[in-house]
């Protein structure tokens, strides 16, 4: 059984992003999804700091400190791209204009609750940024994460123990073991890596699972 | 003749008093009005409430203001970053108060203040720690949190060009909070790369109409100074 590495996970998410979609990729791991979008598929990336039509990183020496992404890294603007202020940017999210957002997570519940902003650890300085707006605003919210913590605990849970980012907002979870749909009916397995069975996956994930319709 | 241009950044911030609330534009360092903030530090006002997306990056801008000990409270969405050490130190020493606001709520509350609204019902944050104790309402089957407008005595923002009426255009993603902060502050002060003659900004592409801006001051872009 070969778990997907982070590149393979990003490539797997990219497969599910259709032509014409308006997409916001969260900071960290989700940003890598952009590298795997096929060149012949026109997908329009939004960045919370006021840009649509975000392109890849500039060539060395071409960086512009006024042209950055949500992670404050230099980016480029594609032909057709646009700049706008912060209230418009978040209206795009909250108003349901963004088709898909992809976020990282500490935990996701089988009902689609998301925890990804704060661990409540002693001494941790809380920071939320745009996570709460993105999570509940996009038409579909995807999570991309390793299924297990470094300590081996499942991050797909019955109910989040970390502080919530949003309630019932995640629809699909891409992990290194499997792809899950989550929602009011609980978690179902869309696909899993070779060599894994539903029973074995359920043992690893520690939550009740069923096969999604059409999965197998 | 209406002329909102002032000759220097120190003149632009001269009436910011101790205890003022000050919005500061910028997302990270993009759009951060560094020279206005340097002038504010030199001017000496303290006990400030700062409203800004981040709690400072590196050594300039909001970070420099915090380092100088002028900030009593900061209202922001994303304080903790790799280079927010000046904020981190003051926060851990209990020398600065933090009000954490989701970024979109921050933008909407600032915009609401500028638009004269008494509050907004937002779905963001519903059911989370950041909405605890706040009034909620179900509207058309969806749950919302009542959030109040955020206004300020002053806004310090950065544009690309201005004219003497205060009309502004910005540069790329440095626009971010500038337009809405200009609306929400009693006195909005914009530092720009150049002040151009009235009539030379294309009226179809003016981003912030001059009615929202009280002072403009020309200051060469940081990149030019560094070069």
Nearest partner of B130 among A166, A198, A172, judged by Cα = A166
For residue B161, tell me if it sits in a domain: yes
Dihedral of CA atoms A136, A140, A146, A147 in degrees, nearest 10, equals: 90
Nearest partner of B35 among B61, B58, B4, judged by Cα = B61
pLDDT band of residue A121 (cuts 50, 70, 90) is: confident
Chain B contact set for A89 (CB, 8 A)? 107
Q: Is there a contact between B107 and A86 if contact means CB atoms under 8 Å apart?
A: yes
For residue B120, tell me if it sits in a domain: no
Domains present along chain A, CATH in parentheses: 6-211 (3.40.1080.10)
What angle (nearest 5°) sits at the alpha carbon of residue B76, between those of residues B186 and B221?
70
pLDDT at position A216, please?
57
Chain A contact set for B129 (CB, 8 A)? 118, 163-164
The answer to whether residue A48 is catalytic is: yes
Nearest partner of B51 among B172, B153, B159, judged by Cα = B153
Chain A contact set for B125 (CB, 8 A)? 132
pLDDT band of residue B220 (cuts 50, 70, 90) is: confident
- Counting residues of chain A whose pLDDT is more than 90, the rounded percentage is 93
Answer for the pair A182, A172: CB distance below 8 angstroms, yes or no: yes
* CA of B54 vs chain A CAs: smallest distance (Å): 9
Decide if pLDDT at B223 tops 50: no
pLDDT at position B221, please?
59
Residues in chain B, total? 227
Tell me the C-alpha distance between B107 and B124, whole Å: 12
How many other C-beta atoms can be found within 10 angstroms of the C-beta atom of residue A69? Answer: 21
Burial of A68 (0-12, 13-18, 19+ CB in 10 A): buried
Decide if pLDDT at B225 tops 50: no
- Give the mean pLDDT of chain B: 96
For residue B197, tell me if it sits in a domain: yes
**Residue B140, C-beta contacts closer than 8 angstroms, at least 6 positions apart:** none
Tens digit of pLDDT for each residue in A34-80?
A: 999 999 999 999 999 999 999 999 999 999 999 999 999 999 999 99
Which residue from A86, A123, A132 is facing B176, i.e. has the nearest CB? A86
Q: Is there a contact between A131 and B105 if contact means CB atoms under 8 Å apart?
A: no
B124, B140, B190: best mutation site toward chain A, by most A Cβ within 10 Å?
A: B124
Tens digit of pLDDT for each residue in A83-111?
A: 999 999 999 999 999 999 999 999 999 99
Tally C-beta pairs within 8 A across A and B: 139
Tens digit of pLDDT for each residue in B97-140?
A: 999 999 999 999 999 999 999 999 999 999 999 999 999 999 99
- Residues within 8 A of B (CB atoms), A 107-146 only: 118, 123-133, 136-137
Tell me the C-alpha distance between A56 and B25, whole Å: 25
Establish how many alpha carbons lie within 13 A of residue A47's alpha carbon, considering only the half-sphere containing its beta carbon.
30
For residue B26, tell me if it sits in a domain: yes
What are the Cα distances from residue B207, in Å, to A159, A198, B86?
45, 55, 33
pLDDT band of residue B192 (cuts 50, 70, 90) is: very high
The ipTM is 0.95
Tens digit of pLDDT for each residue in B58-95?
A: 999 999 999 999 999 999 999 998 999 999 999 999 99
Structurally, chain B folds into a number of domains equal to 1
Tell me the C-alpha distance between B71 and B65, whole Å: 7
- Give the mean pLDDT of chain A: 96
Decide if pLDDT at A1 tops 80: no
* CA of B24 vs chain A CAs: smallest distance (Å): 13
Nearest partner of A25 among A82, A77, A100, judged by Cα = A100
Is A213 near chain B, with CB under 8 Å? no
Query: Which residue range is the domain that position B211 belongs to?
Result: 9-101+150-226
For residue B199, tell me if it sits in a domain: yes
- Residues within 8 A of A (CB atoms), B 13-52 only: 27-31
Tens digit of pLDDT for each residue in B132-142?
A: 999 999 999 99
Which residue in the list A19, A42, A48, A146 is annotated as catalytic?
A48
Tell me the C-alpha distance between B183 and B186, whole Å: 8
Which residue from A77, A84, A128 is facing B100, i.e. has the nearest CB? A128
- Counting residues of chain B whose pLDDT is more than 90, the rounded percentage is 95
For residue B91, tell me if it sits in a domain: yes
For residue B114, tell me if it sits in a domain: no
CATH number assigned to the domain comprising residue B64: 3.40.1080.10
Which residue from B98, B123, B175 is facing A83, i.e. has the nearest CB? B175
Tens digit of pLDDT for each residue in B150-165?
A: 999 999 999 999 999 9
pLDDT at position A123, please?
82
Chain B contact set for A141 (CB, 8 A)? none
Residue of chain A with shortest Cα separation from B29:
A65
Q: How far apart are the first and last CA of chain B?
A: 37
What are the start-end ranges of the H helices in chain B? 9-12, 34-43, 62-67, 85-92, 103-114, 178-184, 222-226
pLDDT at position B150, please?
98
Decide if pLDDT at B226 tops 70: no
Q: In whole angstroms, how large is the CA radius of gyration of chain B? A: 18
Tell me the C-alpha distance between A88 and A84, whole Å: 6
Dihedral of CA atoms A129, A89, B49, A123 in degrees, nearest 10, equals: 0
Decide if pLDDT at A6 tops 50: yes
**What six digits make up the tokens of B200?**
């030379």
Nearest partner of B75 among B38, B113, B43, judged by Cα = B113
For residue B113, tell me if it sits in a domain: no
Which residue from B80, B172, B179 is facing A67, i.e. has the nearest CB? B172
pLDDT at position A120, please?
81
């Amino acid at each position: 059984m070969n778990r997907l590495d982070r590149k393979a996970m990003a490539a797997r998410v990219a497969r599910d992003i259709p032509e014409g979609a308006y997409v916001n990729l969260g900071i960290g791991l989700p940003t890598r999804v952009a590298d795997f979008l096929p060149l012949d598929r026109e997908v329009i990336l939004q960045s919370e700091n006021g840009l649509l039509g975000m392109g890849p990183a500039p060539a060395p020496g071409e960086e512009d400190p006024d042209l950055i992404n949500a992670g404050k890294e230099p980016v480029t603007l594609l032909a057709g791209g646009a700049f706008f202020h912060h209230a418009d940017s978040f209206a795009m999210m909250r108003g349901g204009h963004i088709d898909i957002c992809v976020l990282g997570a500490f935990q996701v519940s089988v009902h689609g609750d998301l925890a990804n902003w704060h661990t409540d650890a002693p001494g941790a300085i809380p920071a939320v940024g745009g996570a709460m707006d993105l999570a509940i605003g996009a038409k579909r919210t995807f999570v991309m994460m390793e299924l297990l913590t470094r300590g081996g605990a499942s991050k797909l849970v019955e109910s989040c123990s970390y502080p919530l980012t949003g309630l019932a907002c995640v629809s699909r979870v891409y992990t290194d073991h499997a792809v899950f749909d989550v929602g009011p009916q609980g978690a179902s397995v869309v696909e899993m890596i070779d060599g894994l069975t539903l029973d074995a996956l359920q043992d690893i994930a520690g939550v009740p699972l069923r096969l999604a319709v059409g999965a197998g | 003749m209406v002329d909102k241009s002032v000759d220097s950044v120190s003149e632009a911030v001269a009436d910011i008093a101790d205890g003022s609330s000050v919005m500061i534009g910028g997302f990270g360092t993009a759009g951060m009005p560094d020279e206005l903030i340097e002038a504010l530090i030199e001017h000496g006002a303290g006990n400030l409430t700062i409203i800004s997306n981040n709690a400072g990056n590196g050594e300039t801008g909001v970070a420099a203001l915090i380092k100088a000990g002028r900030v009593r409270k900061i209202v922001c969405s994303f304080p903790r970053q790799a280079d927010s050490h000046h904020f981190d130190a003051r926060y851990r020493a209990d020398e600065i108060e933090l009000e954490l606001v989701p970024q979109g709520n921050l933008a909407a509350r600032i915009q609401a203040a500028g638009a004269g609204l008494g509050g907004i019902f937002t779905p963001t944050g519903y059911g989370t720690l950041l909405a605890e104790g706040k009034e909620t309402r179900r509207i058309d089957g969806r749950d919302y949190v009542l959030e109040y407008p955020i206004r300020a005595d002053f806004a310090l923002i950065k544009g690309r060009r201005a004219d003497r009426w205060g009309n502004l255009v910005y540069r790329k993603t440095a626009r971010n909070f500038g337009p809405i902060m200009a609306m929400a502050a009693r006195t909005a002060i914009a530092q720009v790369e150049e002040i151009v003659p009235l009539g030379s900004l294309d009226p179809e592409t003016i981003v912030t109409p001059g009615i929202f801006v009280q002072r403009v001051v020309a200051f060469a872009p940081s990149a030019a100074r560094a070069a």
